[in-house]
A and B are shown apart, each in its own frame.
Chain A
Amino acid sequence: MMDKKINYGSLRMKAGLELHQQLDTTRKLFCNCSTGMKERLPTATITRKLHPVASELGMVDIAAQFEYLRDRSFHYQIFNNETCLVELDEEPPHHLNSEALEIALQIALLLNCEVPNEIFVMRKTVIDGSNTSGFQRTVIVGINGHISYKGKRIPITQVTLEEDAAAIVGEENGKATYRLNRLGVPLVEIDTGILEGYSPMELQDIAYQIGILARSTSKTKHGLGSIRQDVNVSIRNGPRTEVKGVQELGLLSKIVEFEVQRQMKEKPKEETRAANLDGTTRFLRPLPGANRMYPETDIPPVIIVKEYIENLKKNLPEPWTNKLERFKAKLRLPDGLAREILGSEYLSLFEKIVSTKKVEPTIVANAFTSVMKDLERREKIEITRISEYRFVEIFDCLQNKEITKEAIPEIIKYLAAYPQNGVGDALKELDLKPLTTADVREITKEIVSQPNIKFEKAYGIVMSKVRGKIDAQEVMKIVKSMMK
């Protein structure tokens, strides 16, 4: 159980955050494959071994690597359009994707980083098989940045642009299977400095703030796995544990709490742990030693021209941290709803609608978040079948009082079923003309006149007749008043 009384200050809890955000580019970082990750079935599989590589660490390190790799083989699944010889480590990398570089630089600038004048792609040795080459390509695009949080300065030590690793499918008897379509998708890693004096909840919120700053570029991927966070935790200046792969931001504070409790009970070791879905962690491997990092000699360094950076700085998108505040202050969205709409794929459509139509922003935000989620989850509606301008039509109708907000779910359902039809058709076929209170009184009168009818039942019957045509609150008021 969670111990609410933990005093993180007196435990001298230190934490460091690493956020990984996939970029939504057309092409991968070092080749022209699609970053779609849409293919389901592999077209072929190849099998590889990795072997120890000599390093300055000498025999011991080699022996450890050898032991680890001896009985392991790696199976790589190949996907149409999403894998080529580059991911197979059968062709040298192409030039650094300039679209990805630009987005990464924007993120670095949004995090107030300095951008080096020349950047060098490095190879970081990785022997778990998640990279066919045995290393991950990574490049620093920003250092010495910061954001402010509750008036304090949160140091951002560096922002790197790297190739995402292949996703593991499973491992059995030393045979690890990976999907190669994720390998090479551009990924931005943002590292904070050591954060001391923050509660787990505050750490989670800091991670959130950094996350939305990165997403301010609108060029980041959505969905599970598109953003992953690692968190380093230590207490009382003890050894540091790294917890990897937190995919749900909401779990971060819990993970930190559990990890602190674990470290209080067990004697912590320097190690890497993986996040479980319930917020607990499991041992993964010892912490890697000093990064074995050396230049990627197949890719020339990239000179970052001053004027280019000045130009990027001038045209930076509005930071979503500002947008969040603006949504709350100007559009009067509650905090939770504001965060939800920021995380929605329909953010830009939402902004377009609230800036051009006279409709209540909360209604629009709700429609794009809870209403849609509900329809998708409960009624298995395929929202993606509805084109954007249909939504604009819906809010036109709302603005012109042709419908009430209660009609929105019904119309969405209809449009998903008949994507070729318009909102006008929906109104005609569903009979969604708004009712006046007089109309409702008329209907209610008949129902409440039934002998011994209880309020709940009467309300239910009335609602079934007027759903989608008038505000439910209004109906409740009418039924209540007429039952007195």
Chain B
Amino acid sequence: MYSQEIESLLKSKKIRIGDKVLIIRGKSEYAGILMPRIKLGDVSSLVIKLPNGYNIGIKHEKDMKIRRLEPGRPIRFKPAEAVQRKDPEKPTVSILGCGGTIASRVEYTTGAVYPAFSPADLLLSFPELADIANIKSRKLFDLLSEDMTPEHWKIIAQEVVKEIQSGVDGVVLMHGTDTLHYTAAALSFMLRDLPVPVVLVGAQRSSDRGSSDNLVNLVSATVVAAQSSIAEVVVCMHGSMSDDFCYLHQGTKVRKLHTSRRDAFQSVNVRPYAKIFYPDKKIEYLRNDYKVREKKTVKLDDKLNTNVALVYVYPGIKPEFIQSLRNFDGIVIAGTGLGHVPTNPMNDKFTQSLLPSLRNLIHSNIPVVIAPQTIYGRLDLDVYEAGRMLNEIGVIGDGCDWTPETALVKLMWVIGHTKEMGKVKEMMLTNYAGELGDRTV
């Protein structure tokens, strides 16, 4: 929005955003299209797009005159018809949109980005998809992934089940990347007995640019959904900084490990399931311990208790902080090193042990789960005194190789099923979706 002064000036002159206008200020004249005011910058400057496409800001001053040269034409993006004829020889893939960078389009006049999810939009932007499969697509919601909640995971799980029941050969979920690995873990627990692959895919570079990773990622994900023999929740993202291949990661063993690089997603403690080469679209399997496609009926198990906290341990952390967590139904502690928290066995005068407060939580039937803040590696609570003391008070996680995020999602799912402490521990230590590996690589 422009400043009130400008807004009322425009109103009085009946000038609207998108009109071609002439601004006269002193001896200077500027003709161009009046642009909407973005939030950043100076709201008392008028933004116009010059005929050569550049935007400039012109400060509103008293002696300034503005008049309309031509009314604006509503600019609407009209994609050419790109309708795919169904090919019975080809598998069918359902692409569901959950938002994010991967499938948005820029409107070149205003620079506004809007989602593009219809099959026509997708096939226009990614014509290669039609070579791989018959494409069904629809939008579930359009959300920045940092705004996603466990409620959204449930909606996604339910819609994926519907798609699978309709008989598709695979499902692709287009998702924002920030929390994509949380959703992948959640779906891994909630979708039981998958007969076909469910592939999460995102993009690290916006789709308006010719260099976006969305094409390679989406094409590879669709290849996996259509052809792979894997019937699990998986994540398909760039494998390197080049546009040469994608990695296919196990849904519970993957994490975003870089803020911006294309290969931000990495398998943690395991090798990826496969490599998908681009532009050859060939799959090279790197492991064979995955669940395979077979005729099965998918089951939805979406009971979650989301009243769970994830706490990062740091030097000087206060026991009061831990005590303040007593209103949660479960706690994940991202511990240091092999899974530690301050326990002060040397009775140092500065150190405050977290043991008493953690013990209190466990005694009030709040499960405490440990995960490594190092991300990579396996927990071991037998090596040092701190670990042994944590084991003694009954924390869960010794020997586990889960990421903090997977541990968090699993705890939500487990305490959605039981409140009984013994059962919680037993379920947490049961491998449901490959989240617990017995060999670290």
A291 within 8 A of B: yes
User: Are A50 and B80 interface neighbours, CB within 8 A?
Assistant: no
Which one of B75, B127, B209 contacts A134 once the chains associate, using CB atoms below 8 Å?
Answer: B209
Residues of A52-76 contacting chain B, CB below 8 A: 52-56, 58-59, 62, 65-66, 69, 73
User: Are B105 and A54 interface neighbours, CB within 8 A?
Assistant: yes
Chain A residues with Cβ below 8 Å from B316 are none
CA distance A297 to B260 in the complex (A): 16
CA distance A90 to B204 in the complex (A): 8
A321 within 8 A of B: no
Residue interface mask A182-208, B partner, CB < 8 A = 1: 000000000000000000000000000
User: Are B59 and A117 interface neighbours, CB within 8 A?
Assistant: yes
Which one of B55, B75, B215 contacts A120 once the chains associate, using CB atoms below 8 Å?
Answer: B55
Chain A residues with Cβ below 8 Å from B209 are 53, 89, 123, 133-135
B166 within 8 A of A: no
A-B contact count (CB 8 A): 155
Residues of A310-351 contacting chain B, CB below 8 A: none
| Residue of B57, B109, B212 most packed against chain A (CB within 10 A) | B57
User: Are A295 and B211 interface neighbours, CB within 8 A?
Assistant: no
B217 nearest CB across to chain A (Å): 12
User: Are B56 and A140 interface neighbours, CB within 8 A?
Assistant: yes
Residues of B96-122 contacting chain A, CB below 8 A: 105-111, 113, 116
User: Are A53 and B205 interface neighbours, CB within 8 A?
Assistant: no
A288 nearest CB across to chain B (Å): 11
Nearest chain-B residue to A131 (Cβ)? B211
Residue interface mask B66-106, A partner, CB < 8 A = 1: 00000000010111101000000000000000000000011
| Residue of B58, B77, B260 most packed against chain A (CB within 10 A) | B260
A437 within 8 A of B: no
Chain B residues with Cβ below 8 Å from A50 are 210-211
Nearest chain-B residue to A138 (Cβ)? B54
CA distance A92 to B204 in the complex (A): 10
B249 nearest CB across to chain A (Å): 19
User: Are A117 and B243 interface neighbours, CB within 8 A?
Assistant: no
A266 within 8 A of B: no
Q: What is the total number of residues of chain A having a CB less than 8 Å from a CB of chain B?
A: 57
A127 within 8 A of B: yes
CA distance A118 to B210 in the complex (A): 28
B244 within 8 A of A: yes
CA distance A302 to B206 in the complex (A): 22
CA distance A73 to B211 in the complex (A): 11
A19 within 8 A of B: no
Which one of A114, A116, A144, A291 contacts B53 once the chains associate, using CB atoms below 8 Å?
Answer: A291
Residue interface mask B240-261, A partner, CB < 8 A = 1: 1111100000000000000111
CA distance A52 to B41 in the complex (A): 32
Nearest chain-A residue to B263 (Cβ)? A90
B43 nearest CB across to chain A (Å): 10
| Residue of A46, A52, A116, A124 most packed against chain B (CB within 10 A) | A116
Nearest chain-A residue to B26 (Cβ)? A114
Chain A residues with Cβ below 8 Å from B216 are 49
User: Are A114 and B108 interface neighbours, CB within 8 A?
Assistant: no
Chain A residues with Cβ below 8 Å from B28 are 114, 144
User: Are A51 and B215 interface neighbours, CB within 8 A?
Assistant: yes
User: Are B80 and A90 interface neighbours, CB within 8 A?
Assistant: no
Main secondary structure of the interface of B (DSSP, over half): loop
Residues of B24-43 contacting chain A, CB below 8 A: 28, 30, 38, 40-42
B218 nearest CB across to chain A (Å): 11
A88 within 8 A of B: yes
Nearest chain-A residue to B54 (Cβ)? A140
User: Are B243 and A58 interface neighbours, CB within 8 A?
Assistant: no
A125 within 8 A of B: yes
Which one of B40, B58, B127, B205 contacts A300 once the chains associate, using CB atoms below 8 Å?
Answer: B40
CA distance A123 to B113 in the complex (A): 14
User: Are A85 and B106 interface neighbours, CB within 8 A?
Assistant: no
Residue interface mask B210-245, A partner, CB < 8 A = 1: 111001100000000000000000000000111110
CA distance A140 to B54 in the complex (A): 7
Nearest chain-A residue to B121 (Cβ)? A54
User: Are A62 and B58 interface neighbours, CB within 8 A?
Assistant: no
User: Are B56 and A62 interface neighbours, CB within 8 A?
Assistant: no
Which one of B56, B105, B243 contacts A48 once the chains associate, using CB atoms below 8 Å?
Answer: B243
A456 within 8 A of B: no
B272 nearest CB across to chain A (Å): 20
Which one of B42, B108, B243 contacts A55 once the chains associate, using CB atoms below 8 Å?
Answer: B108
Which one of A48, A119, A123 contacts B242 once the chains associate, using CB atoms below 8 Å?
Answer: A48
A143 within 8 A of B: yes
B262 within 8 A of A: yes
| Residue of A58, A132, A294 most packed against chain B (CB within 10 A) | A294
Stretch at the interface among B44-52, B186-194, B319-327: B44-52
Nearest chain-B residue to A294 (Cβ)? B111
Chain B residues with Cβ below 8 Å from A135 are 209-210
Nearest chain-A residue to B49 (Cβ)? A293
Chain A residues with Cβ below 8 Å from B77 are 54, 56
CA distance A62 to B261 in the complex (A): 27
Chain B residues with Cβ below 8 Å from A124 are 53
User: Are A140 and B211 interface neighbours, CB within 8 A?
Assistant: no
User: Are B108 and A119 interface neighbours, CB within 8 A?
Assistant: no
Apart from A47-B244, A54-B105, A134-B210, what 15 extra A-B contacts exist at CB < 8 Å? A59-B124, A90-B261, A92-B260, A118-B45, A125-B210, A133-B211, A134-B209, A158-B52, A292-B53, A293-B53, A293-B108, A294-B110, A295-B38, A301-B40, A302-B41
Some 11 contacts from A to B, beta carbons below 8 A apart, are: A46-B242, A49-B279, A50-B210, A51-B210, A65-B210, A120-B56, A124-B53, A125-B210, A134-B212, A294-B109, A297-B111
